[in-house]
Amino acid sequence: MEIKGQKSRSIYTKIVVIVCSFLSSLFLIHSTTMALSWNPKCVLLNYLKSNYPWEKIELSDFSINGRLPDPPVNINIEKGPPGKTVFRMEFRNGEFVSGTTNIRVFEDVVFSKRSLKKGHCLQREDLYEKTIEIVRIQTGAVNNIDNVIGKTLTRSIIANVPIMDYMLASTPMLKKGRKVNLVIESPSFIITTLGELKENAYVGETVKVVNTESKKIINGLLVDESTVRVSF
């Protein structure tokens, strides 16, 4: 019976020690948090927003190794972002602490609301913006609706696809019926006359144009917004 009582007291003592250690740890964490007048995670987030071109940033798994005095006077990013990021906070008293965090970054991407045909001039009602993590965004995706309003599609697209730079004409589409200067060239002569586009076209494309004097339809190169050159 005495041995059994000793074992019970030993188990009880271990439980008391474990509970006291746990409570002491909680008290220490609470005291440290209460004593700290600034939030290191918020400070790092504000630093990232001020020094990187991203407005939508999320931090997770935030960890710092060391004691934190007053707010840092400098922050150095040693690896990343995005993804796993290693940073160092430097303080006025010469001390520094290192930390790690996982950083996710998001940007808006412009998408089509519905199917649109080649040659369509994009309007605001054709588009919407969707927030996507940057690691999933294709190179060349447009991230601002205002940058594409009034631009012309160089290909037909379906609904709910991201608008890419290569889908947009670098110059506006010239409409059928537009008056142009028709320059007819050969090794021995150059004739300039008036012409009219017989189809919609972009600068740099071959286009059908009618000579307004002879009424003859010929093919020429649309070299700029007002000139079609024909070679013989």
Q: What is the pLDDT of residues 188-222, one digit of tens each?
A: 888 899 999 999 887 878 899 999 989 999 999 99
Question: What is the model's pTM?
Answer: 0.57
Nearest to 163 by CA among 201, 125, 113: 113
Q: What is the dihedral of CA 49, 93, 67, 103, to 10 degrees?
A: 20
pLDDT the model gives residue 15: 56
Cβ-count burial of 27 within 10 angstroms (0-12 exposed, 13-18 middle, 19+ buried)?
A: exposed
Residues 6+ apart with CB under 8 A from 114: 126, 159
Residues 6+ apart with CB under 8 A from 207: 197, 198, 199, 201, 219, 220, 221, 222, 228
Nearest to 129 by CA among 109, 158, 159, 157: 109
The answer on pLDDT for 186 being more than 60 is: yes
pLDDT the model gives residue 207: 92
DSSP-assigned beta bridge partners for residue 231: 185
Q: What's the pLDDT tens digit per position in 128-183? A: 999 999 999 999 999 999 989 888 898 999 999 999 999 998 777 788 999 999 99
Q: Which domains does the chain have, with CATH numbers?
A: 40-105 (no CATH), 106-167 (3.90.1210.10), 179-231 (2.30.30.760)
Minimum mean pLDDT among 1-10, 80-89, 163-172: which range? Answer: 1-10
Residues 6+ apart with CB under 8 A from 194: 179, 180, 181, 182, 211, 212, 213
